[in-house]
Amino acid sequence: MKRTVIALAVVLAGCASTPQVSELRNGVRSATFIQLGTEPLTYRLGVVDTGSFWASYGGGVSGNLGGSVVAEGLAAAGRDDAARKAPDAERALRALYNKHPLVNEVGRSVMPQLAQLWGVAYSPAQLRVVQPGTRMEDEKGNLLGVSATTDLVLIYAMPGITLTEKFSVGGAFAAGFTMGTNTKTVAADTHVTMHAYKRDPASGDYKKVWSGICTGMAMHSKVAYPFPEVMQSREKAREIFDAALPTTVESCSRVLQAQAKT
């Protein structure tokens, strides 16, 4: 539940902090459409085993136990364990992802909606895929690394995907009873960003004027499997990534529809 509240707060904060698109799109008649990469930019493991349980929840458990030295030690060990596993986890998850079309399919839905929000025409042939690694903006929010002459540049990316425990009341009870040693049933959390850069007619430079964030949360996934089974089966991993598609698209559609009403 804690992860759900935090994720929702991030989405709402992202929506609340952005200017109204209805004002920003004044004078916009054309746009360049950019997709950053064809897969998630980062791969992470959330709460999937004992180490990650203590890394995520150890501090809270320590407090609940009155500052138990044992619990605090386990929390520290969990954070160290998670840090040591991170490179191996990323390699394993990349292999399981196995060029899944998730990023492309989410983009196929997001880009037309993004174009509609900004009042510009869009066709799939206009989409440019820029491979990650290029610095996209400077410290002041000026666009870098993209050549364009349009009024606007719209960029979509999936900065990260996380394989993590799918929250349930039963799972929470089991985690509490076993202090996190129970086998976790996992699904995918996704994170999507959308940015708009508007051209200054005088200088020709593009400045970031708007950002949108949306997340597909594991708890909403219709597919989940025990963590050890996923790590041994590309088929089950693919089912999890397949299930992340509709939850991510739905989340992004809600964010864009909310922006259209402002």
d(CA 242, CA 221): 10
Residue of 260, 110, 247, 117 lying closest to 190 (CA atoms): 247
The pLDDT, as a whole number, for residue 229 is 92
pTM here? 0.80
pLDDT in tens, 24-73: 989 999 999 999 999 999 999 888 876 676 566 555 555 444 445 544 55
Q: Torsion over CA of 73, 178, 1 and 14, rounded to 10 degrees?
A: 40
pLDDT in tens, 233-258: 999 999 999 999 999 999 999 999 99
The pLDDT, as a whole number, for residue 2 is 43
Q: Parallel, antiparallel, or unpaired for β 185-199 and 225-226?
A: antiparallel
pLDDT in tens, 167-199: 654 454 444 444 445 678 999 999 999 999 999
pLDDT in tens, 79-125: 666 667 767 878 889 999 999 999 999 999 999 999 999 999 999 99
Q: How far apart are the first and last CA of the chain?
A: 29
d(CA 142, CA 34): 15
Place 76 in a pLDDT band, splitting at 50, 70 and 90. low
